[in-house]
């Protein structure tokens, strides 16, 4: 993108907002780049997450109808919007506050309407976004950085840090909406024997197959993670204990039927699982996971290859 394609970054003259719609329609076909919003602060699980837009009007707010929906109680339903405005001689990217309750800030200053420059930090509620525009290669680079930071390299599932942050976010949502959720703590039975009998490479393949089975039996909103070693933790939003039990038992059955062909061996395994439902009286994340762990211990003690709920 050449310098003539976009406004002088230090020119604070904003195009007449009454002409925004006309200018957007006129310039929509000229776009050769994407607008990038990178999360710098807010929900810890979103750190480094990159949102990419190629349209010329981007709405931001708490309502799901927005182009970028932020789960932040300090963000208004329709908080602000970013517009790309064209004229014959320049192009401007501006942010406009939509009469939000807590205001829109750019680089620490409250704004009603302001031109955005690459690197500007947009503060909306407790969320901070960095504004930039770039090409597909750079976009993929930032996406990979987020993936490396949030996922387990062996199984491709989310890591422990990510799932704990999502659990914290779910608890905050329950306090506002009273929508309950459940967690499943799942463990591969006799995993040490597999490593001792067939080697660690075989153990790695079992971990990957179990992770694959978990992932392909979940809903879009469910979150699965490798919690440590041969343990997996699954977060099931809007799911009570009964629903979590049915899902866990289906996964258990699928893994029981699974057979891994490794070198000259045919390896079978099973899993045990403990389920815990979050209730408003549950004091914190540690208590929720401890309850699931107690249920998992019972499943192991009662013969393994079993699902137990508390």
Q: Which residues are catalytic?
A: 230
CA nearest neighbour of 271 among 227, 197, 206: 206
Q: Which of 174, 176, 187, 188 is nearest to 277 (CA)?
A: 174
**Listed residue (107, 105, 130) closest to 46, CA to CA:** 130
* Alpha-helix residue ranges (DSSP H) falling in the chain: 20-27, 136-150, 160-177, 191-198, 200-215, 241-257, 285-301
Q: What does the block give as tokens for 212?
A: 């694959």
Tokens describing residue 248: 């866990």
Number of Cα atoms under 13 Å in the Cβ half of residue 310: 21
167, 173 Cβ separation under 8 angstroms: no
Beta carbons of 226 and 153 less than 8 angstroms apart? no
Q: Are 142 and 198 in contact (CB under 8 A)?
A: no
CA-based torsion, 258, 310, 221, 148: positive or negative: negative
């Amino acid at each position: 993108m050449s310098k003539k394609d976009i406004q002088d970054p230090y020119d604070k003259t904003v195009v007449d907002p009454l002409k925004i719609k006309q200018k957007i329609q006129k310039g929509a076909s000229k776009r050769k780049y994407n607008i990038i919003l990178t999360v710098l602060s807010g929900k810890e699980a979103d750190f480094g997450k990159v949102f990419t837009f190629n349209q010329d009007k981007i709405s931001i707010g708490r309502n799901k109808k927005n182009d970028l929906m932020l789960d932040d109680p300090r963000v208004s339903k329709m908080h602000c919007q970013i517009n790309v405005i064209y004229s014959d001689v320049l192009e401007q990217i501006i942010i406009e506050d939509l009469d939000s309750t807590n205001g829109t800030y750019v680089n620490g200053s409250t704004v009603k309407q302001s031109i955005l420059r690459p690197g500007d930090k947009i503060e909306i509620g407790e969320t901070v976004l960095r504004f930039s525009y770039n090409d597909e290669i750079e976009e993929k680079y930032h996406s990979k950085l987020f993936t490396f930071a949030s996922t387990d390299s062996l199984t491709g599932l989310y890591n422990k840090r990510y799932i704990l942050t999502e659990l914290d976010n779910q608890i905050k949502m329950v306090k506002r909406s009273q929508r309950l959720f459940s967690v499943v703590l799942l463990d591969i039975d006799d995993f040490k024997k597999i490593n001792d009998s067939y080697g660690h490479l075989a153990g790695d393949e079992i971990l990957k197959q179990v992770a694959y089975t978990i992932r392909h039996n979940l809903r879009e909103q469910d979150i699965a993670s490798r919690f440590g070693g041969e343990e997996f933790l699954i977060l099931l939003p809007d799911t009570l204990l009964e629903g979590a039990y049915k899902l866990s038992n289906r996964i258990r059955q699928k893994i029981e039927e699974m057979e891994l062909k490794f070198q000259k061996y045919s390896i079978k395994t099973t899993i045990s699982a403990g389920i815990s439902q979050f209730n408003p009286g549950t004091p914190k994340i540690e208590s929720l996971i401890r309850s699931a762990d107690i249920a998992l211990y019972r499943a192991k003690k009662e013969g393994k290859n079993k699902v137990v709920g508390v």
